[in-house]
Amino acid sequence: MPETLDAHDLALLRRSLRVAEASRGAGRHPFGSLVVAADGTVLAEAGNDSLPPDGDPTRHAELVAVATAFRAAGGPDGMVGSTLYTSAEPCAMCSGAAYWTGIDRVVYALSEHRLLELTGDHPENPTFSLPCREVFARGQRRILVSGPHLEDEAAAAHEGFWV
């Protein structure tokens, strides 16, 4: 069972859910992420931009957000103490991007397991059965992970999308 989040964390996580809903509203996959610096400044916010046929399959919301935040923070020193809030558990690719850009903490809503229940075998969302905690556990530095949280709220953006 994940730990309880404080009101600030919950507000930021819900903001990632609103970004996911906006992404869906724009005709893209319903995922959203934001990166917050140690001082509380939102460094980046991104929806998913990987929808075929024109999207880039590497432009998941988390990857775009952490790359943008890294540049906004001026590099690794500016990322110390940063948190990635995301509407769904980061995949292996996005976990790697979070690791390499210096994210210190990940807070996510929808688990990979629950996401798979919603997407099934949809060709636009092939998934790994590889929790982000396992990816991070293989790294040389520690990344704190908190989730899943608000899974029912996060699932709402996916309902009826993957049909």
Task: Tell me the per-residue pLDDT of 65-92, one tens digit each, with 9 for 90 and over.
Answer: 999 999 999 999 999 999 999 999 999 9
CB 30 within 8 A of CB 48: yes
Among residues 48, 44, 70, the alpha carbon closest in space to that of 60 is found at: 48
* pLDDT at 8 exceeding the cut of 80: yes
| Prediction pTM value | 0.93
Count the Cβ atoms, other than its own, within 10 Å of residue 121.
9
Look at residue 136 and tell me whether its pLDDT is greater than 60. yes
- The answer to whether the beta carbons of residues 59 and 47 sit under 8 Å apart is no
State whether residue 10 is helix, strand or coil: helix
- Give the dihedral sign, CA 159/147/47/62: negative
| Beta-ladder partners of 107 | 85, 146
Catalogue the active-site residues.
62
* Structure confidence by residue, pLDDT tens digits, 89-104: 999 999 999 999 999 9
Check whether 27 has a pLDDT greater than 70.
yes
> What is the pLDDT at residue 95?
97
Q: How far apart are CA 12 and CA 122, in angstroms?
A: 29
pLDDT above 90 covers a percentage of the chain that reads 75
Rounded mean pLDDT, 19-32: 94
Q: Which residues pair with 33 in a beta bridge?
A: 46, 86
Amino acid, res. 136: F
CA 133 remoteness from chain centre:
13
What pLDDT, on the 0 to 100 scale, is given for residue 81? 98
Q: How many CA atoms lie within 13 A of 22 on its CB side?
A: 12
CA atoms of 159 and 41, how far apart (whole Å): 31
